[in-house]
Structure 1
Amino acid sequence: MTHDSTDLVASTAPPDVVRRQYLASAAGDLAALRATLAPDVEWTEMAGFPLAGTYRTPEGVTSNVMEKLGQDWTGWIAHDDTYVVDGENVVVLARYTAVNKATGEPIDVRVAHHFVVRGGLIVRFEQFVDTALVRDAMND
């Protein structure tokens, strides 16, 4: 998939919508990130993850997930590398990198994300990650 940035911004194709979410997150642009989420989005952080739970609404997602990650970690980025697309389902293999502010411990953890995209918006997200590696960095 090669797109210039104009194509990516305008596209409602599921992988393009998901890619915009990663780019917005990495840039810390929460308004652009919220623009990728449906009003009734269900965003689930995995059980055992520090922010475990299901969050609803674009504002609920950014305030309960992205803003909290920014409070606890320096340079939190989800690096998306492989996309597996089946209709409205987009599975992304990625990795998280960051440094915990309290302990100074870095993480570099593999992760899988499952997105469901309808009408050009993310309606559902589920995270799969080795939560022990993240918790270990927080409890040095």
Structure 2
Amino acid sequence: MGLTADLIPADVVRRQYLASAAGDLEALRATLAPDVEWTEMAGFPLAGTYRTPDGVTANVMEKLAAEWDDWTAHDDTYVVDGENVVVLARYTAQHRSTGKPLAVRVAHHFVVRGGLIVRFEQFVDTALVRDAAA
């Protein structure tokens, strides 16, 4: 197996967070499987399921960067069960239009296979995000 397939799931997820924090979308896409399913929670401003690494970064990361200053997902605690990685995290940012700050707890569920993220699901208090944007 190649280097990517040898990575343990938590390491793959950690690489995704580091790439996101650095704004390195190429490195972020490299953590995603070609057929990735990335789901932003219903009620979240970018709600929906996105597919392909390019689809994820164009419809999630690039849009967040356009609407929020310093959008950061802080990965605080990892819970790993085989290919399942749950991360208890926080989002911090400031909305560009309203100037309101955001600080909200979130949970992310990743499924990692073959050294790549194949599925992601977000859990967040969407009302807090909407309030900061309104």
Aligned to 2:84: 89
Q: Which amino acid aligns with 2:133?
A: M
Aligned to 1:110: 105
Contact 1:11 1:17 in 2 (8 A): no
Q: Structure 2 vs 1, CA of residues 122 and 79 (structure 1 numbering), >3 Å: closer, same or farther?
A: same
Using the alignment, how far apart are the partners of 1:108 and 1:33 within structure 2? Answer: 23
- SS of the residue corresponding to residue 55 of structure 1 reads strand
Aligned to 1:16: 11
Aligned to 1:30: 25
Using the alignment, how far apart are the partners of 1:70 and 1:12 within structure 2? Answer: 29
Runs of 4+ aligned structure 1 residues displaced above 4 Å come to none
> Gaps spanning 5+ residues in structure 1: where?
1-8
Q: Which amino acid aligns with 1:82?
A: T
Where do 1:42-81 residues align within 5 Å? 42-81=37-76
Alignment deviations for residues 43-98 of structure 1 (CA, whole Å, 9 cap, x no partner): 00000000000000000000000000000000000000100000000000000000
Using the alignment, how far apart are the partners of 2:34 and 2:43 within structure 1? Answer: 26
Q: 1:12 deviation in Å? A: 1.2
TM-score, normalization: structure 1? 0.92
> Gaps spanning 5+ residues in structure 2: where?
none
Quick one: which of 107, 126, 134 aligns to 2:129? 134
Aligned to 1:4: none
**Equivalent residue pairs, number:** 131
Identity of aligned residues (%): 82
